[in-house]
Amino acid sequence: MLPHALLLALQLPGPAAAASAPPPIFYPYRRPAAQRMTAAWTCADGARELSLDTTPKRPPRLLAASRGGVAMPQASRDAVDAAIAPLAILAVQPECATNADRIRIIGLIGQRQHAVWVDWTGNEIRLRGPEHVRLIPAE
């Protein structure tokens, strides 16, 4: 078994990748005390935050999401909840883009790893995942 510090070092990207995107945030899903996962990052036009409820034995759900201080509308959060419901969340990987934020939520369905991508612009979100491609207008 590798020491904890070495495991953390293996998860960090190299210097070239650090300039282009923040490092992924890994979450040990099976740890019973951990029931909330928060990812915070900064893009050129402001701060971003995403908070997930990852209580074991319940479907995960999006507690809050904001871009530059503007919260994601409830209808959009409900759509994200439906998309991530079958996942046992492993990691969240945010990415800054020119016109939208892309958030990759990685998790397990059974023994297979899947991802749900949330592309979020000011007025809509686009969800892509294992079995769906949906466009949801934000209210």
Instruction: Give the structural domain span for 34.
Output: 22-137
* Predicted pLDDT of residue 35: 78
Q: Please check whether residue 6 lies inside any domain of the structure.
A: no
Domains contained in the chain, number: 1
Is 4 contained in some domain?
A: no
pLDDT in tens, 76-107: 889 889 888 888 888 888 887 766 778 888 88
The answer to whether position 61 is within a domain reads yes
In a domain, 1, yes or no: no
Asked whether residue 128 is domain-assigned, the answer is yes
E strand segments, 34-132: 36-43, 46-53, 61-67, 70-71, 88-96, 101-109, 112-120, 124-128
Its pTM surpasses 0.85: no
Q: What is the pLDDT of residues 14-70, one digit of tens each?
A: 444 445 556 565 554 455 555 788 888 888 778 888 888 888 778 888 988 888 788
Rounded CA gap, 41 and 34, in Å?
Answer: 20
- Answer yes or no: is 86 within a domain: yes
